[in-house]
């Protein structure tokens, strides 16, 4: 287990600040370990949007680098338009089907995008979850949604429990 010191946190904050200064946000990728007692799904989220006003963005059930690019594109769209993605908004980035954006609520803050609060030293901040549709355009909370897409939890409907 990583034992952190104040010096470690200062170094990590400085690295994140440098990335945010050049790209407006950084994507934190979290991959579960074999020993993870929660059986956590992999996930990734942005850090940097909160400081500019819009919510941070989160994708659950993948740690593939390609999806970090999706979060970077979505973050730029959100910042450029100057308006946060709304709960249940559909956003197209060029695929056959749009992505679905939902308010991740308390679960998004407390169970997933936790380092946002640590980085900004705040408890309240917004997180929007990005849901990926299956090849037929179905969402994980739609009957018949194909795996692996069906494994994505829809945090706005779950409260604070990871699955």
Question: So where are the chain's domains?
Answer: 6-87+98-157
Q: Using an 8 Å Cβ cutoff, are 124 and 78 in contact?
A: no
Taking the whole predicted model, whether its pTM rises above 0.85 is answered as yes
Question: Which residue did the predictor score with more confidence, 59 or 156?
Answer: 59
Helices within 82-162 (DSSP H only): 105-107, 114-120
pLDDT band of 73, cuts 50, 70, 90 = very high
Q: Which residues contact 9 (CB under 8 A, 6 or more apart)?
A: 118
Tens digits of residue pLDDT in 84-140: 999 999 999 998 999 999 999 999 999 999 999 999 999 999 999 999 999 999 999
């Amino acid at each position: 287990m990583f034992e952190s010191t104040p010096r470690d946190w200062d170094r990590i904050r400085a690295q994140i600040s440098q990335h945010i200064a050049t790209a407006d946000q950084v994507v934190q990728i979290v991959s579960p370990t074999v020993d993870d007692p929660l059986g956590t799904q992999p996930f990734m989220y942005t850090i940097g949007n909160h400081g500019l006003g819009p919510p941070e963005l989160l994708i659950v059930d993948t740690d593939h680098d390609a999806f970090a690019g999706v979060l970077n594109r979505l973050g730029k769209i959100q910042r450029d338009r100057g308006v946060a993605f709304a709960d249940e908004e559909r956003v197209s980035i060029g695929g056959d089907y749009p992505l679905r954006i939902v308010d991740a609520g308390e679960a998004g803050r407390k169970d997933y995008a936790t380092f946002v609060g640590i980085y900004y030293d705040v408890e309240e901040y917004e997180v929007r979850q990005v849901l990926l549709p299956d090849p037929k355009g179905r969402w994980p909370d739609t009957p018949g949604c194909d795996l692996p897409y069906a494994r994505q939890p829809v945090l706005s409907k779950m409260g604070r429990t990871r699955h």
